[in-house]
Chains A and B, each alone.
Chain A
Amino acid sequence: MSQVEKKAGLLRRTSSSKKPLKEKVVLMYDEIFAKEDPAKNNPRFWDELFLMKVNLEYLESKLESVDGEDVQRIQDNINSLFHHCVQALGEEHQIKVVNALQTLCALFRGVHQKNKSASGFDIINMLMGFDKAEQRMKDLMERLDSLLCGDSSESLKSLCLKLLLCLVTVTDNISQNTILEYVMINSIFEAILQILSDASSRGQHGYDAVVLLALLVNYRKYESVNPYIVKLSIVDDEPTLDGMGMVVHQALTEYNRQYKDKEEENQGGFFSTLTSMVGSMFIADADEKLSVQTNEAILLALYEAVHLNRNFITVLAQSHPEIDIAATPTTTTPTTPTTPLGTTPPSLDMMSNPELPLDPNLQTSNLLITFLKYASIVMQDTKDEHRLNSARLCLIILTCIAEDQYADAFLHDDNMNFRVSLHRMPMRHRKKAVDKNIPSRPLVCAVLDLMVEFIVTHMMKDFPMDLYLRCVQIIHKLLCYQKKCRIRLHYTWRELWSALINLLKFLLSNETTLLAKHNIFHLALLVVNLFNMFITYGDTFLPTSNSYDELYYEIVRMHQVFDNLYCMVLRVSTNTGQWKEAASKVTHALVNVRAIINHFNPKIESYAAVNHISQLSEEQVLEVVRSNYDTLTLKLQDGLDQFERYSEQPKEAAFFKELVRSISLNVRKNVSLNTLSQDVLLKEFSTIS
């Protein structure tokens, strides 16, 4: 063995100086692609092969160049190569393991590259041979599992994960990757969990592990039973779930930080000298650059965890003392909350760490807060496809959260107050909010703020109807919870009301353009029903009696919008057309709003007439409102406090398919880059051994 090693070392050393010799491995590849069994002449052929530095490009191109006819011919050799790769994974010699992993990468990729159209079965046949495939894949997965779980070197583990990522993303559509069937049978779920549960391995491989898990969960999600879905949904080990949360948290925090840096950079530089108009263009520019990096894979992982695993909800609220300020080293190394208590004496810890928290800007954060900040950035600009998808996914996640009892409980927990500084789009007509003055409030306020922010900033020609619907539904779900649990949230509801009224106004004024693409009546119905929630059930969740008066004031004040809306929906519902029914629903929903307007408007006018005031003050109107409640009768509407629960299937299936496809492409691109530059790794091993 050691002789072989030396030989390999010699070879490598000479290979760097002389070109022809470097191709030894290439020669060996050529042998594989010849008809003959390469081991026939050289019984140590496979042994030697895995001592050579892998030439990925060559191997892959070779595989690609194989013609249909040749396939049959060389299949045995390729099967043999695959077999020996798997075997080599069990070797003690780490260089062999590394080379085998890389060779496998090349094999998977090369074969798929070549046979884009080929059926999965053909590919399996070509790689492993049909009859042996099951055994080979079982061996492979077991080896990978033990490498990942064992105490092998970190770079090796990393490479294992890369190989798995490579395998998972080798097709554009993950569900067409038939090899994954074997990954389903031979689960590496436990290995992934183990990586996530341990603080140090999580730090190094957590990201890959989480992405891998997110992708695996999406394999034939809707067609078959995916054991990863099953397993993910029943995980209840808190360190593991927490670990997963940490990885997501880390990734999102990093994004938020980068964005902030970029933003500050832009503002600090030439921006200040330019007009705000031009400046905002530049910001948009910067966003574009950043948006390329929006991390849908991580977001998908978060979604799957929130959607599938009920226990994960607790992780959202799991707070970590976080240092928000950029460039602190803590952001690079993961914090380790799962370190068992006091492995180092805490008092010592305190003393040896003088730079600990004295920073007044230090804010305790949790995954949910970070996610909300992230969402606020992503939602700012939904023009490009990636960002639109990210924003949609963010809203879907929020929908899931808003539906969850436990999540609602901590969102509304009066004891858990946070300052959440959401990013707000720079707009000409409003000043940039001063971050410092954000009050510390229950988290649900931040969610509502985010929704309001979205509503007011996206009224554009290219109307994101889908996002608006989700947004309004999230608000509705939160209100339903508050009504049920009689939680009187101290929130400035007025901002929400005026945002919603403005939205109605926008729908009205752009009726024709919007109707061409969207069913605006559905959105209008949802919005009007939000008002109906406040009108009929306000007594159960409004914070003060005054706020109920203010609601009426706001409705009366903006009565024209409601009047116009009523006219419009009445017109549409009396005509025959595709919107007839949808519009008539809105007319029914408007009954109470109209009753309020019709009841109070004359009263206010007469009050003004009697007192000879042309312009009533708010206080005066409120007074009129207060004294005239008793003569107003409202109609109780049905089902205001009920909602459709979120379900991925069938409505969202297409979205997720597309999303996974784009994530696959992205991951593949990054993985290939990474796996190709494994020289460092090889060097590490050659020096160690």
Chain B
Amino acid sequence: MEDAELDLSPAHSDQNSPSPSISSSPSLSLPSTPSSSCGPPQATTPPLGVINEGVAELSLVIDAEVAQRACQEVLQKVKLRQVDSDSTLSQSEEGPDAPPSDPEGPAPGSVKSARRRQRHNPSKQSWLLRLFESKLFDVSMAISYLYKSKEPGVQAYIGNRLFSFPHEEVDFYLPQLLNMYIHMDEDVGDAIKPYVVHRCRQSISFSLQCAWLLGAYSSDMHISTQRHSRGTKLRKLILSDELKPAGPRVRRDPLALTPFCPAAPPTVSPGPLGGDHSLSPTKRTHQRSKSDATVSISLSSNLKRTASNPKVETSQDEPVRLAPQREFIKSLLCIGKRLATLPTKEQKTQRLISELSLLNHKLPARVWLPTSAFDHHVVRVPHTQAVVLNSKDKAPYLIYVEVLECENFETSSVPIRIPENRIRSTRSVENLPDCGMTPEQRAGSFSVVPNYDNDDEAWSVDDIGELQVELPETHTNSCDNISQFSVDSITSLESKEPVFIAAGDIRRRLSEQLAQAPTTFKRDPEDPSAVALKEPWEEKVRRIREGSPYGHLPTWRLLSVIVKCGDDLRQELLAFQVLRQLQSIWEQERVPLWIKPYKILVLSADSGMIEPVLNAVSLHQVRKQSQLSLLDYFLQEHGSFTTEAFLTAQRNFVQSCAGYSLICYLLQVKDRHNGNILLDSEGHIIHIDFGFILSSSPRNLGFETSAFKLTSEFVDVMGGPDGDMFNYYKMLMLQGLIAARKHMEKVLQIVEIMQQGSQLPCFHGSSTMRALKERFHMSLTEEQLQLLIDQLVDGSMRSLTTKLYDGFQYLTNGIM
């Protein structure tokens, strides 16, 4: 694929391919390079197209070139600024606003002056360049410079430099990149676009991700501007599926050749086209693959499954690229919308199950869950397992999804459909008379069984097999004496010796087995999710696997996802990013704070998907079901104080508490009730629902003044306020805060960039960023920080003690 591309590109790069990129970004290198001694840009600027389509190594080489030629002078300036901030570094003790490597420090005015100065100081020009080329220069810095630098040259350089970073690293900042693309000026947009377009060509998943995010982050714009905004245009471009990968796969499609230049061999570039489509630099060579070609393939066929209709798969191997997944997501969202119209939970659940069972008909297909970490195809939705989650007027729901892991979901072939009841399909064949059979034989094969005969015959063989699968393992040894009896009884028929059983035994077994059975929650039509979430994940996986026609495949996996309709998940995504960032900072600094960022997929400004936290129930549920204090629950679940299991769970609890306490403080996470805090099976707590962060808080909850939630129950689990673990907790928080402070920029930038053009409540007011920055307390010494932590913890505990006192009053007054 690459080879083919490289063959093509040089052929026209000279005449054509630069033109689109240059035409759209002439300011990129020219105006800002008054003293440039370079030749005409057409000749020297390597065609972006080549970079785009080339291998990473190749683009790296060219990047350096670009950097040298196009950005040199600009770099000088920035370098200069660097010097400025270096000089301010000495003063940084006094002002909290001067981080060591913060290039943003100087006001715009000083940038201008810097620029002026820089012209006279060409000697310093290579410093920034050296930084950019150094190994330390990572994505985070790139994003930061991209955002803060006002120099088109720097922006363009970074835009190119993006190509050299690993995909995953850039992907993390995708919301930031796209938000900049949408809301910042032309130059930033132009710098980002080639990279985005390039990645879109490579990956369906990336394309969709971009399209969704672009849609979501454009939504805060005024409707009139939104329609014509860059973001909307790019989104349309992506969704129009014009950004197809170049390569043999396209060529394979015979349909593709017809609409455009039917006679033209791929290498002949139709000149005029290049000018028309300024959007995609290397487009004309791929023109054949344009969506027009595939439009003829009806959308309907995309999700049409393949087993019963293999023709679809073979003849239309590459249907519209993005369509299946889009349809899949769309149908999931649609189900959510329809559920919201139903009045009762029960109806919602029924409807959900029936809708999903219809969805199953279209699976397997080339669709996947974007929240998953590995490539896969969705093969089945075990529809009866889906549950509607508790919500007043919306209908978020949790589905489990069976997938088959694969090498690459774009190229691996879609699994063949296996009918729901695969076991019996073999039987119906075997049951069938062959055409050559005599009537007697046939009659025999239809009427299966003689009268009360032995067991195996009465239930044909495969039934037995099926049953054994269905029987939970625990039962087979503990209480299979009954089936033992049935075997006995058959032999006794011959020996004529009656078998006696005591009625008391039967009754006893019944109550024992009922007691033995794992405590499942009673099915409550008003809270259908409780039962589903209670079941341990492994058990659920095993159960669903047994019931699935795909369960026998080695690549079978079970995933789950929460589909949310009518909820804005952009804040959740922001929180996820911050959590992820802090997590990696703590990891990097080797401080053992534990947090669990859960993946968020923003589909639009009011819909999305959430990766559920496995094996976790809310503190509320724990309390309600167990009727125990948190400490007693820990003792019950993990063993007594001295056991290793308990100590491990306790340590986990402390580490997660420390992590989330810091998170709650830094992000000002509010609305922390027990339903929003989960407890997993290892003792970790996990905060969910970041609906109120930063500047937003629920109106009615004025009393939630403490920095974070630290109830006495928490402290009890840690061993009381004087215990070692509690000190460990505070120490962890201190270490965590110090580590976070060290990398504050990385955290701030995530939030700051997302503030651009955003109407999210968490950015309400003007002081969001400043307040956030202040919470890192850059100016404090470590001793002071320690004091601060103590204060925060004390404050949180005090607010709880008062509450406790109130509760005590309440109880002693005889309500219990």
Which of A's residues lie within 8 Å of B, judged by CB? 222-225, 227, 229-230, 233-234, 236-239, 242, 308-311, 313-314, 317-321, 337-343, 345-347, 349-350, 356-358, 360, 362-364, 366, 404-406, 409-410, 413-418, 440, 483-486, 488, 535-540, 542, 544-545, 548-549, 596, 629-639, 641-645, 647-650
Contacts and interface: CB of A to CB of B under 8 A. Distances in A.
B419 A485 contact: no
A357 to B, nearest CB: 5
B765 to A, nearest CB: 34
A318 B420 CA distance: 11
B357 A319 contact: yes
A635 B500 contact: yes
B328 A341 contact: yes
B38 interface: no
B421 A313 contact: yes
A355 to B, nearest CB: 11
Given A321-B354, A346-B331, A638-B492, A539 B421 contact: no
A309 B432 CA distance: 10
Contacts of B499: 635-636
Counting chain B CB atoms within 10 Å of each CB, the highest count among A339, A343, A644 belongs to A644
A602 B446 CA distance: 51
Given A356-B338, A636-B500, A644-B449, A536 B506 contact: yes
25 contacts: A225-B442, A230-B432, A309-B428, A319-B353, A320-B354, A337-B358, A340-B303, A342-B330, A346-B334, A363-B350, A364-B350, A364-B351, A364-B353, A413-B384, A484-B459, A536-B506, A634-B506, A635-B499, A635-B500, A636-B492, A644-B452, A645-B447, A645-B448, A647-B448, A648-B446
Contact of B433 (A230, A409, A548): A230
A360 B344 contact: yes
Nearest to A416: B384
B439 A485 contact: no
A406 B421 contact: yes
Contacts of B472: 486
A224 B328 CA distance: 48
B504 A650 contact: no
Contacts of B475: 486
B299 to A, nearest CB: 6
Interface string B432-449: 111111010011001111
Contact of A314 (B349, B420, B452, B504): B420
Interface stretch (B483-491, B593-601, B630-638): B483-491
Interface in B444-460: 446-449, 451-453, 455, 458-460
A242 B384 contact: no
A230 B435 contact: yes
B143 to A, nearest CB: 33
B463 interface: yes
A349 B506 CA distance: 57
Contacts, number: 256
B373 interface: no
A237 B308 CA distance: 6
Contacts of A485: 467, 470-471
Interface in B221-253: none
A530 to B, nearest CB: 15
Contacts of B500: 633-636
B502 A634 contact: yes
In the complex, the 7 A-B pairs of residues with the closest C-beta atoms, listed nearest first: A647-B447, A340-B300, A319-B354, A346-B334, A310-B424, A630-B504, A539-B510
Given A360-B347, A415-B353, A633 B453 contact: no
B265 interface: no
A251 to B, nearest CB: 20
B471 A360 contact: no
A356 B341 contact: yes
A222 B439 contact: yes
A516 B327 CA distance: 67
Contacts of A318: 357
Counting chain A CB atoms within 10 Å of each CB, the highest count among B330, B384, B466, B506 belongs to B506
B523 A414 contact: yes
B385 interface: yes
Contacts of B446: 647-649
A357 B447 contact: no
Interface string B503-539: 1101101110110000000010100000000000000
Contacts of A236: 308, 419, 425
B498 interface: yes
Given A363-B350, A644-B452, A629 B507 contact: yes
Contacts of A417: 346, 349-350, 525
A301 B547 CA distance: 29
A229 B434 CA distance: 11
Nearest to B386: A415
Contacts of A638: 452, 489-490, 492-493
B355 interface: yes
B419 A238 contact: yes
Contacts of A338: 361
A233 B430 CA distance: 10
B334 A643 contact: no
Given A230-B434, A636-B492, 12 more contacts: A225-B434, A225-B439, A341-B300, A343-B298, A405-B424, A406-B424, A484-B459, A539-B510, A540-B479, A548-B510, A633-B501, A638-B490
A222 B443 CA distance: 8
B300 A343 contact: yes
Contacts of A337: 358, 361
A536 B299 CA distance: 59
B425 to A, nearest CB: 6
B1 interface: no
A236 B506 CA distance: 44
A376 B455 CA distance: 33
B464 to A, nearest CB: 9
B304 interface: yes
Given A415-B384, A638-B490, A362 B419 contact: no
B333 interface: yes
Interface in B296-334: 298-304, 308, 327-328, 330-331, 333-334
A229 B447 CA distance: 15
A341 B362 contact: yes
B507 A539 contact: yes
B40 to A, nearest CB: 48
A224 B438 CA distance: 8
Nearest to A552: B503
B330 to A, nearest CB: 5
B343 interface: yes
B501 A311 contact: no
Contacts of B427: 310
B813 to A, nearest CB: 37
B490 to A, nearest CB: 7
A314 B419 CA distance: 9
Given A537-B482, A649-B447, A239 B467 contact: no
A234 B432 contact: yes
Contacts of A649: 443, 446-447
B510 A542 contact: yes
B815 to A, nearest CB: 32
Contacts of A416: 353, 384
Contacts of B60: none
B342 interface: yes
B255 interface: no
Contact of B525 (A440, A486, A542, A648): A440
Contacts of B302: 340
A257 B358 CA distance: 24
Nearest to B447: A647
B498 A642 contact: no
A629 B503 contact: yes
A339 B442 CA distance: 38
A311 B514 contact: no
A648 B447 contact: yes
Contact of B431 (A222, A233, A484): A233
Contacts of A234: 428-429, 432
B498 A636 contact: yes
